[in-house]
Amino acid sequence: MYRHWYFPAGKHFLHESPEQEPYQYKVTSSPISVQAGDSSWHIQEDAVCVSRGPLDIDSSHCVVIRGYAPANRSASLRGGTNLPYINGTSSETLIAPQRPGDPTAQLLFMPANTSEQQHHIHSTTRVVKILDGRCTAIVGMPAKYESVPLKVGDTIVFSRMTPHHFVTDDSHFLCMSIHIWSSVPGESQHPMEFGTHTA
């Protein structure tokens, strides 16, 4: 069974991964304490930052990944996107995975008037924060599609195996996506495409 969770901009929330998820995480817009052995993937001004616990984080967007504590890193959210992704979209690696399976942070850009993105699934959770513009997420299977309008500041979490795609009308959109699992990038290996399958 597929699931997604939508959190509108400006509302405080705390979402914890379902128990059956193979990778445990929390997503919040409120202050949170990060334990030793865990990491915080959060937005700080115009950057995405990865910080090892223990520490306290106060951010409008924070993903805490349990059992993963890499070295502290950060990357600007102001860069462009250079790698082609699915059907008219492009992306850029913000925080690269250091080993196969490590989490990654990605920018995803979709131009205005784009409706050809294929319906697809991921084998692990994706946490998406809208940074600019707006779009509509189409979630579910054709007999039961749900349209979720998304705007700047909104967060949507797609659990593993949740079919979805994005469409735009008169506005582009730019988002940051945290992939709880990915792979090591290379010239012919895009970390967003690992674990992405057309539905």
Considering the domain architecture, whether residues 25 and 69 belong to the same structural domain is answered as yes
Contact 97, 184 (CB under 8 A): yes
Q: Which domain holds residue 42?
A: 7-76
d(CA 65, CA 94): 17
In a domain, 34, yes or no: yes
Considering the domain architecture, whether residues 24 and 89 belong to the same structural domain is answered as no
Domain count, the chain: 2
Residue at a domain's end among 54, 76, 98: 76
Which pTM was predicted?
Answer: 0.89
Residue 110: per-residue pLDDT: 95
- Indicate if the pLDDT at residue 185 is higher than 70: no
User: Amino acid identity of 108?
Assistant: L
Q: In which residue are the tokens 């115009």 written?
A: 46
The model's pLDDT over 47-68, given as tens digits with 9 standing for 90+, comes to: 999 999 999 999 999 999 999 9
Q: What is the CATH number of the domain that holds 128?
A: 2.60.120.10
Confidence of residue 38 (pLDDT cuts 50, 70, 90): very high
Residue at a domain's end among 23, 53, 76: 76
Residue 80: per-residue pLDDT: 84
Angle CA(184)–CA(83)–CA(179) in degrees, nearest 5?
A: 45
In a domain, 68, yes or no: yes
Closest CA to 58 of 87, 27, 29: 29
- Indicate if the pLDDT at residue 40 is higher than 70: yes
Residue at a domain's end among 76, 97, 113: 76
pLDDT over 70, % of the chain = 91
In a domain, 1, yes or no: no
Compute how many other C-beta atoms are within 10 angstroms of the C-beta atom of residue 199: 15
Considering the domain architecture, whether residues 101 and 147 belong to the same structural domain is answered as yes
- Torsion, CA 59, CA 178, CA 14, CA 9, rounded to 10: 70
- Indicate if the pLDDT at residue 69 is higher than 60: yes
Contact 160, 124 (CB under 8 A): yes
Angle CA(110)–CA(182)–CA(154) in degrees, nearest 5?
A: 40
The model's pLDDT over 12-24, given as tens digits with 9 standing for 90+, comes to: 999 999 998 889 9
Residues 135-140 have a mean pLDDT of 96
In a domain, 2, yes or no: no
Residue 139 — φ and ψ, nearest 5°?
-120, 140
Considering the domain architecture, whether residues 190 and 99 belong to the same structural domain is answered as yes
